[in-house]
Amino acid sequence: MRIARLNNAPEVFFSLQGEGTSAGVPAVFLRLAGCNLHCSWCDSKHSWGDSIELSPREVVTRLLEFPSKHMIVTGGEPLMQANELTELLLMLPRDYAIEVETNGTFFPSPDLLARVSQWNVSPKLPHAGNAMESLQLPVLTAFAALSNSWFKFVITGEEDWPSIAHLRLPPEKIMLMPCAADRASYRHLLPIVAGICLEHHVRLSPRLHIELWDTRLGV
């Protein structure tokens, strides 16, 4: 498996989930390397390139060293390594809660669907500046049909809402969060995004890692 390299080590760490419905929950994080999108504002661009190769069993050994049975798989785009990820997850104890962060351009296999506790789908809107079509409607519709999926949209303002509304996703599954890479811009945009959530009757997602640790990586 290709694991993101941070400080010349595989990016596996223990922290608090910063976003979504489980924000604030202590969890062990695994950041996989490689992504099919290249968002202009991505806060983990280091995961696009240089990586460290580990076998799924080696990754499991590292994960079990941490005091948590709640796990977040992020990237990059984890579903680019779906076969290796499936092998890894099937090695973990069954009482592990597993969240997978994905950009919604790939749909998981039946084996992954059976093992993952929660899908945090973060479709990328046009302002992310991707060369390819990042909003794959058939894939997003399939995710919306799952009982354990949520949609997190990074937005810059009200002008982003038409792109979200066009997808016709269940409003109760939609979460909006500020497009911010540092604490100052996050604090500025948060009340604006909160107002948009109130206007359209959708959830507000925090970004606790930015509030707590600003631009620091690996936390």
Domain limits of the chain? 2-155
Global confidence as pTM: 0.96
pLDDT of residue 153: 98
- In the chain, the N- to C-terminal Cα span, in Å, equals 21
CATH class belonging to 2-155: alpha beta
Q: Is 34 left (phi over 0), alpha (psi -120 to 50) or beta?
A: left
| Cβ neighbours of residue 166 closer than 8 Å, sequence gap 6 or more | none
Q: Is the pLDDT of residue 171 over 80?
A: yes
pLDDT of residue 218: 87
**pLDDT tens readout for residues 97-124:** 999 999 999 999 999 999 999 999 999 9
pLDDT of residue 28: 98
- How would residue 51 be classed by pLDDT, with cut points 50, 70 and 90? very high
pLDDT of residue 149: 98
pLDDT of residue 182: 94
